[in-house]
Structure 1
């Protein structure tokens, strides 16, 4: 009888783990959770490839989402924490980088397209970048990301990439 109870409890736990609790305002990120992505950030005309690998996970009992990414196995990378800020009534995030700068900002979902739109303030950037606007759209197993930077007071085209869902792999920092 105790084996039957143990079996039933393990099945119940398995179902609960598969349907992990997530703050309702973070549900837009559920399709990303537990997944790994890779995108090519190589600039047109450049010969050195810039491959960006990332992972997404539920953290803090579902109160936040953590992303970790690394370009060219640690040449550059960062970690983000995304959460719902009750006081601001907004999705908020902090992003910390291996380059010594960090950003913080807000996110919203474009009701017409489902794209995630972010506006972030950049702190301590040595290249004169003070803000970043980005748009991320998930369609099936493809994630398209486009950004622009405010640099020296003007908005300029930033990076863009199409990411593919990939097999789990180590996100490497140097």
Structure 2
């Protein structure tokens, strides 16, 4: 009986280890593991403007060779989807971001020594005059901090800062 219990424990250990390995990201994307899951941030708004909430979901994709993100603002008023991956030729983290507003971005990310990362995006087709985006993200005390600037009509905007907390909400698209 003891041998049988030992075999079952060994089997369960191997299965759980195999499952964890199957859920892992490639080494170049390990920086994103704390971000996996669902998040939400309430944007600060100027008096009289409607509240703004972003719900973002990060998941492992393509056998761990990519990270897929989905997000929606105000339950589908605006949203987008990204695919983040390691480009072996460029030796950089790269990504594509597609939006419900009909424009897209492509960019690269620099991973910094402190575990944060900076994303640089080139924007194509934005009707508001935005041609570039720069954002810095950090994982701090179980939360995601994001600071974003936009090159709009040739001028960089002041950084917009948001703090994302874990959420049970769903990303929604209309």
* CA deviations over 1:33-55 (Å, ceiling 9, x no partner): 2x110001242334311100011
2:154 equivalent in structure 1:
153
Kindly name which structure, 1 or 2, has the bigger radius of gyration based on alpha carbons. Answer: 2
Q: CA RMSD in A?
A: 2.1
2:124 equivalent in structure 1:
123
Contact preservation (8 Å) 1:42, 1:48: no
Q: Distance in 1 between matches of 2:48 and 2:130?
A: 22
Cα distance, 1:44–1:114 mapped onto 2, change above 3 Å: farther
Cα distance, 1:17–1:44 mapped onto 2, change above 3 Å: farther
Pick from 28, 53, 57: which aligns with 1:25? 28
Cα distance, 1:46–1:82 mapped onto 2, change above 3 Å: farther
The TM-score with structure 2 as length reference comes to 0.89
Runs of 4+ in 1 over 4 A off after TM superposition: 4-11
Which structure carries more helix by proportion? 2
The TM-score with structure 1 as length reference comes to 0.89
Q: Distance in 2 between matches of 1:150 and 1:37?
A: 26
**Displacement after TM superposition at 1:159 (Å):** 3.2
1:132 aligns with 2:129: no
Cα distance, 1:130–1:44 mapped onto 2, change above 3 Å: same
Contact preservation (8 Å) 1:107, 1:119: yes
Contact preservation (8 Å) 2:35, 2:144: no
* CA deviations over 1:19-74 (Å, ceiling 9, x no partner): 423211000001112x1100012423343111000111101000000011111110
2:67 equivalent in structure 1:
65
Q: Distance in 2 between matches of 1:85 and 1:122?
A: 19
